[in-house]
Amino acid sequence: MSLEIFIHREVGPFACNCYVVGDPATNEAVVIDPGDDADLLAEDIAAKGLRITAIVATHAHFDHIVAAGRLRDLTGAPFHLDPLDKPLLGWMQESGRMLLGIDLPPPPEVDTETSEGDLLIAGSVSLEVLHTPGHSPGSISLVHPDAVFSGDTLFAGSIGRSDLPGGDTQTLLAAIRNKLFVLPEHLPVYPGHGPATTLERERATNPFVGDGARW
């Protein structure tokens, strides 16, 4: 079954791309990176008649998970996170005060730990978990035959930062080259911030990991 992006909303002060994707035949869907605006997302979900089967964060930096707990309560869907990023949950409120000067809600409770090869199911749509560390230890991408959701691993013309706790530049570069760039080049890439791109474009032109990259 083809994948539908039911909702794409830029949320939070860092304009995190939150996607609600799934099966148009059943209206079952997965929420990816609910960084903020939980009530607005819930309104959009209800207006489209969607049933949320899973809430997943590509990593545990606060700009990707602030709304996860509230959305979990509103939809009843379980929250998924790679276990290697669970230690970052304890840093969520401190980082909010440090970077934004505000008090964030407590971090969400993790219902299910994701592992490479796991499938997030919405009707006949399956999103496969691909471990793509480097931006954080437990960063993941989600892969479907129609799309890749790359979180903060790969951006249009750029890559994720690796100077935050748990980040590592060489690990990040290797994840992109060995995990993402071996996928079919026609696939569109929907990143955690900024515009969509394609694997073909990034392989050809990305200054960090593309052909002729200086790294």
Query: Does the residue 99 lie in any domain?
Result: yes
Per-residue pLDDT, 64: 96
Query: Does the residue 94 lie in any domain?
Result: yes
Query: Does the residue 39 lie in any domain?
Result: yes
Domain count, the chain: 1
175/143 Cα distance (integer angstroms): 14
41/15 Cα distance (integer angstroms): 14
* CATH number, domain containing residue 89: 3.60.15.10
The model carries a pTM of 0.96
Per-residue pLDDT, 215: 56
- Give residue 79's identity as a one-letter amino acid code: F
Q: Please provide residue 125's backbone torsions phi and psi, each rounded to the nearest 5 degrees.
A: -95, 135
Q: Which residues of 37-73 are buried (b: 16+ CB within 10 A; e: fewer)?
A: bbeebbebbeeeebbbbbbbbbbbbbbbbbbbbbbbe
- Give residue 80's identity as a one-letter amino acid code: H
Q: What is the mean pLDDT of residues 126-132?
A: 98
Query: Does the residue 38 lie in any domain?
Result: yes
Q: What is the mean pLDDT of residues 134-158?
A: 98
Query: Does the residue 172 lie in any domain?
Result: yes
Query: Does the residue 43 lie in any domain?
Result: yes
Query: Does the residue 195 lie in any domain?
Result: yes
Q: What is the pLDDT of residues 39-95, one digit of tens each?
A: 999 999 999 999 999 999 999 999 999 999 999 999 999 999 999 999 999 878 777
* Ranges 54-63, 102-111, 151-160: which has the least confidence: 102-111
Query: Does the residue 214 lie in any domain?
Result: no
Domain extent for 19: 4-205
User: Is the pLDDT at 24 greater than 70, yes or no?
Assistant: yes
Classify 209 in phi/psi space as left (phi over 0), alpha (psi -120 to 50) or beta: alpha
Q: Classify the C-alpha dihedral 32-36-42-45 as positive or negative.
A: negative
